[in-house]
Amino acid sequence: MDHVASQPDSRRAIPRTDVLLALEVVAEARMRLAEHVIVGVIRAVQARARAGALAPDRVAEEVAAELAARPASAQTPVLNATGVVVHTNLGRAPLSDAAVAALQRAAGYVDVEMDLAAGVRSKRGVGARAALLAACPAAEDALAVNNGAAALVLATTALAAGREVIISRGELIEIGAGFRLPDLIASTGARLREVGTTNRTHLADYADAIGPDTGCLLKVHPSNFRVEGFTSGVDVRDLSVVAAERGVPLVVDLGSGLLSPDPLLPDEPDAATTLAAGADLVTASGDKLLGGPQAGLLLGRADLVSRLGRHPLARAVRMDKLALAALEATLSGPAAPVVEYLHADPARLRERAEVLAAAVGGEVIEHDGRVGGGGAPGVPLHGFAVRLPEAVARPLRLGTPSVVPRLHEGAALLDLRCVPESADEVLTAAVRAALREI
């Protein structure tokens, strides 16, 4: 009778977990990663070896490689080559160096709610408030919350919960990710009182609707679309006269977050001008055009801001110490990247594009960037881009660093408006690497 010699089970050669945990690379990884994350990586590699997808003698090497490449956060830094300055999918506004440094300082213990001189508790966000008032002197007081929608919700809740918010039908907008203004305000317990029509609203429409149940008048800037043709609306100055005569607060939601006028964006409202025109309270975004961290800004009459700050909802939407530090540094420091990118010199953009095209074999074309983030719809930002085959887009996105181009008419366009000049050589290397993969 023939006997078949038994074959050794190669899986027995797979290093045990305790052996792999003793590797020097694991000790280094513990400076960045939690123990359960490290063990998870090890077990995943061992599982591949048991399935025959990896040789046992390569397990330790693979564990070392995966731990070295594993960040503590899954978010991947990218180079934004789309030409869209406030790109929602890419985190909107990139922070300034001053804001990044402030984040690092605030990462430990800080006096976020303590008066160090007196040794007693103090109000939260004192520095950010002072910076907002310095940047927008037209405001009597200021409050910052965790995002723009929260600012509007806090305002309508504190002023009109259980009462009416009067708003033009033409301003019942839908904001990002499918959130609709009517639903947002209804969630506060306030009732919407719609006036006018989609395309035409008059001052008398507001005046006729004001009554004992009116909590506030609300005017919303339709920042991500335009209505043209047979239209009419009521400006803040005229509306403020009616609001003052009837003793009703006028709240204006600006959306994008300009604190002062920008000649590049003549149709984009700003907080200073809106308050000077008679708005009692302005709500706006702290990122987007301001260029800071995600935040909601409330600026205006001291009594109204104080009332909002005392409302229980203010606690639920307050900013954390990191965002407060970044917001203050954005307001007090040099111009934020968003401002620089918006006002980038087209001639310099062309020079940089030509250098990149010469290095990688692309074609320089005229290309209009965009503000993005719902700000200044239809306003072109004149510039240039390098045209490459569309097939390069995927390896660009998956490369190191990740580069996100604009896909347009069967091509991948690299617009350098939002790419720091200091990253030009890195971008060139990334493009060359991506082209080799197609």
Q: Which residues of 283-309 are buried (b: 16+ CB within 10 A; e: fewer)?
A: bbbbbbbbbbbbbbbbbbbeebbebbb
Q: Rounded to whole angstroms, how far apart are CA atoms 334 and 210?
A: 44
* Single residue among 290, 318, 333 that ends a domain in this structure: 333
Q: Same domain, yes or no, for 322 and 364?
A: no
375: which strand partners? Answer: 372
Is 1 a residue whose pLDDT tops 50?
no
Q: Rounded to whole angstroms, how far apart are CA atoms 237 and 246?
A: 15
End-to-end CA distance of the chain: give it in Å, rounded. Answer: 58
The reply to whether 4 falls in a domain is no
Residue partners of 141: CB distance under 8 A and separation at least 6: 129, 133, 299, 300, 301, 302, 305, 306
Are 336 and 95 within 8 A, CB to CB? Answer: yes
Q: Same domain, yes or no, for 34 and 157?
A: no
Higher pLDDT: 63 or 8? It is 63
Over residues 291-310, the pLDDT tens digits come to: 999 999 999 999 999 999 99
Is 387 a residue whose pLDDT tops 90?
yes
Q: Same domain, yes or no, for 278 and 389?
A: no
Q: Same domain, yes or no, for 284 and 373?
A: no
Q: Rounded to whole angstroms, how far apart are CA atoms 310 and 140?
A: 17
Give me the number of domains the chain comprises. Answer: 3
Which range (121-130, 187-196, 238-247, 339-348) has the least confidence? 187-196
Q: Same domain, yes or no, for 309 and 261?
A: yes
CATH number at residue 189: 3.40.640.10
CATH number at residue 357: 3.90.1150.110
The continuous run of DSSP H or E covering 250 comes out as strand 250-255
The reply to whether 202 falls in a domain is yes
The reply to whether 16 falls in a domain is yes
The reply to whether 280 falls in a domain is yes
Note the pLDDT of residue 4: 45
Q: Same domain, yes or no, for 276 and 135?
A: yes
The reply to whether 106 falls in a domain is yes
Q: Same domain, yes or no, for 160 and 293?
A: yes
* Single residue among 285, 304, 333 that ends a domain in this structure: 333
Q: Same domain, yes or no, for 314 and 379?
A: no
Q: Same domain, yes or no, for 307 and 356?
A: no
The reply to whether 5 falls in a domain is no
Q: Same domain, yes or no, for 84 and 99?
A: no
* Single residue among 317, 333, 349 that ends a domain in this structure: 333
| Relative orientation angle of helices 321-332 and 126-135, to the nearest 10 degrees | 30
Residue range of the domain that includes 23 = 11-69
Over residues 247-289, the pLDDT tens digits come to: 999 999 998 889 999 999 998 999 999 999 999 999 999 998 9
C-beta atoms surrounding 260 within 10 Å: 12
Q: Same domain, yes or no, for 420 and 300?
A: no
| Mean pLDDT over each residue of the chain, to the nearest integer | 93
Is 225 a residue whose pLDDT tops 90?
no
Beta strands in 96-211 (DSSP E): 114-115, 120-121, 141-145, 164-168, 191-195
Q: Stretch 29-48: mean pLDDT, rounded?
A: 96
Q: Same domain, yes or no, for 324 and 367?
A: no
Note the pLDDT of residue 198: 81
Over residues 123-164, the pLDDT tens digits come to: 999 999 999 999 999 999 999 999 999 999 999 999 999 999
Pairing of strands 250-255, 214-220: parallel
